[in-house]
Amino acid sequence: MNEVLLDTDTLSFFLRNVPKVMAEANTYLKYHKGFTFSVITNFEILRGLKIKNAHSQISKFNLIRQHSKELALTDSVINRAADIYADLYKRGLLILDADILIAATALESGLPIVTNNENHFSRISDLQIINWSK
């Protein structure tokens, strides 16, 4: 099983023990030590948990982070994200900046993205999408 980049929604489903995502994630974890996700996903998960004062879920997420690979925003990711933004803007198909940055991270890392947000991510050329929620 190849490495993938988890989008925020998929990691959130995992934290909430959504059965279909849990099954796919557990299969994935048999082949990999942990998950791979963007620093943007880290931010989005933490801000949501902190808004809710979800201390036990924050602890669970921090444990997941210890065994996972978090990909940073590099110059190449930023440049790719700007290209994606410009393309989507010209086509009138803009999505959230966070999604663009996550997609650019996946593309620059050569990884498919695991997301339930196929509507937005399918607008980005050459991005391979996997959905663990179906």
pLDDT-based confidence at residue 44 (cuts at 50, 70, 90): very high
Task: Give 105-123 pLDDT, tens digit per residue.
Answer: 999 999 999 999 999 999 9
Residue 85: exposed, middle, or buried by beta-carbon count in 10 A (0-12, 13-18, 19+)? middle
Task: Give 8-38 pLDDT, tens digit per residue.
Answer: 999 999 999 999 999 999 999 999 999 999 9
**CA gap 80, 100 in Å, rounded:** 9
pLDDT averaged over every residue in the chain: 97
Report field, pTM of the whole predicted structure over 0.75: yes
What is the CATH code of the structural domain delimited by 5-130? 3.40.50.1010
**CA gap 104, 119 in Å, rounded:** 16
| Section 55-70 average pLDDT | 95
